[in-house]
Amino acid sequence: MAKKIAAANWKLFKTPAQAKSFLQEFLPESTGLKSDVIIFPQALSAFAVSIETAKAGNVKWGGQNGYFENQGAFTGENSMEVLKAMGASYVLIGHSERRKLFGETEEMLNKKVRNAQSLGLIPMLCVGEDLEQRERGETEEIIVTQLKNGFKGAVVGKPIVVAYEPVWAIGTGKVATVQQAEEAHAILRETISHIGGPADEISILYGGSVKPDNAVELAKQKNIDGFLVGGASLEAKSFLAIAKALS
Ligand code: PGA
């Protein structure tokens, strides 16, 4: 059985003080949750998150990005080795904002997946089609290709998480219908099994305008194992409600 996961992608929000106060509100309420919880803070607030989550034990955190080289002349990059040393368990890889705004290629993303695994970090690989691709009927081809490229050379026995995030649903308030999401998740799970992965053990999260009121229906779908949440993860109460939908 794949683990249920509620993941918060804070993007470029929250100072260290804001991250701390979110966790001070969230952590006492999170003890009874059945899902795993992961916080993805921006790098400069990661230290605060690392200190707060270390007190709790049931909430993990990860980097929103990490480079595929661990050290060297790469000004401005984030080292996954340092993330690991700071207590991170995960690293987000291939979010559509990284692909689009920062020009990250499939080859780079694949190197990042492999580097994360070699350090003992769990990569969370994001895949998803944009609106034009969906309208042209290319959704399946796009997500299968992104998944296969990301997984190339990854160690099948080591943990890895997938997030399906249709680009047109991110930050737009337009959530995919439960049918659209479930269909894409089923395709991804089948693809994982074709490439030899333990498809039933790999969590596949849905992301894109998840809110407390749509999380319940989405969570009932067979192939939806959790959520990657942007906007609605910035407030402890709404993120908690989303995590509870997975219980
Ligand atoms: P959203 O973002 O929940 O604000 O749509 C999701 C994401 O980008 O991970």
Please say if the pLDDT value at position 205 is more than 80.
yes
pLDDT digits (tens, 9 = 90+) for 103-149: 999 999 999 999 999 999 999 999 999 999 999 999 999 999 999 99
- The pair phi, psi for residue 36, each rounded to 5°, is -75, 150
Q: Is 95 a catalytic residue?
A: yes
| pLDDT tens digits, 48-107 | 999 999 987 789 999 999 999 999 999 999 999 999 999 999 999 999 999 999 999 999
pLDDT at 157: 81
**And the tokens for 160?**
């890895």
Q: What is the per-residue DSSP string for 15-68?
A: -HHHHHHHHHHHHHH-TT-SSEEEEE--GGGHHHHHHHHHHHSSEEEEES--BS
Asked if the model's pLDDT at residue 156 lies above 90, the reply is: no
* Active-site residue, selected from the candidate residues 95, 104, 129, 185: 95
Global model pTM greater than 0.95: yes
Which whole number is the average pLDDT over 141-166?
Answer: 94
Predicted confidence at residue 197, as pLDDT, reads: 83
User: In a 3-state reduction of DSSP, which class is residue 76?
Assistant: coil
DSSP 79: B
Cα–Cα distance, 156 to 85 (Å, whole number): 24
pLDDT grade, residue 196 (50/70/90)? confident
| pLDDT, position 247 | 86
Q: Is 170 in the pocket of ligand 1 (CB under 6 A)?
A: yes
Q: Which residue has the tokens 């993990």?
A: 60
Alpha helices, DSSP H, located in 57-104: 80-85, 96-101
175: Cβ below 6 Å to ligand 1?
no
CB of 95 closer than 8 Å to CB of 64: yes
Q: Which residue has its alpha carbon closest to ligand 1 atom 2? A: 230
